[in-house]
A = this chain, B = another copy of it.
């Protein structure tokens, strides 16, 4: 298959490519069918390699699943690192952060499904993964600083907790993707559709800002 003159470096790159291809397909299959529903056979068939290679590289279905999770989380975190909103005024910073989170969920739908699946399983896999446990979540620090600045400037009144604000924003963005199908059936609206994007994107920003301004206080 390979040219006879292929140097070791290329073989190495083949190995990496093979591994990456397996991971990519596996992520899609696990996202589509759940952990138990995904088939190693099927993953192999969608790859240029064989089932045997999956075991060569990953050892077991579970380890493949964990590797897919780890890769997905790592990629997603890498994007998060690039967010820079701290030069903005607090209100704009929060709004922008919410909108970036929204875009982010919009763009990583398989990842969201993996997270749903992982929650079905009580997060038992990411709990055990040393890679994921130490992955860090810089977003909490960012929100903390925005909240402080906002309170100092008088923009924010609500005694808000960074983790809760993050949860509020994530919930909105996550739900829109994760629950799109049942929501569509029950309410007849495709919330994950392209044409809803702009309106819902604006909405999550307004929601976060309105809440922090304290407008909902009893």
Contacts and interface: CB of A to CB of B under 8 A. Distances in A.
Interface residues of A, number: 65
Contacts of A184: 123
A32 to B, nearest CB: 8
Copies of this protein in the assembly total 4
A154 interface: no
Contacts of A181: 118-119, 122-123, 127
Given A163-B189, A200-B164, A175 B174 contact: yes
A6 B52 CA distance: 20
Nearest to A210: B216
A103 to B, nearest CB: 17
Contacts of A209: 215-216
Most chain B CB inside 10 Å of its own CB: which residue of A120, A200, A205: A120
Interface in A111-143: 113, 115-123, 126-127, 132-133, 135, 137, 140
A18 interface: no
Contacts of A35: 34, 36-37
Interface of A: 31-37, 95, 113, 115-123, 126-127, 132-133, 135, 137, 140, 158, 163-164, 166-168, 170-172, 174-176, 178-187, 189, 191, 199-200, 203, 205-211, 213-218
* Nearest 10 CB-CB pairings of A with B: A215-B215, A206-B216, A210-B216, A171-B175, A123-B181, A36-B37, A210-B210, A210-B215, A209-B216, A36-B36
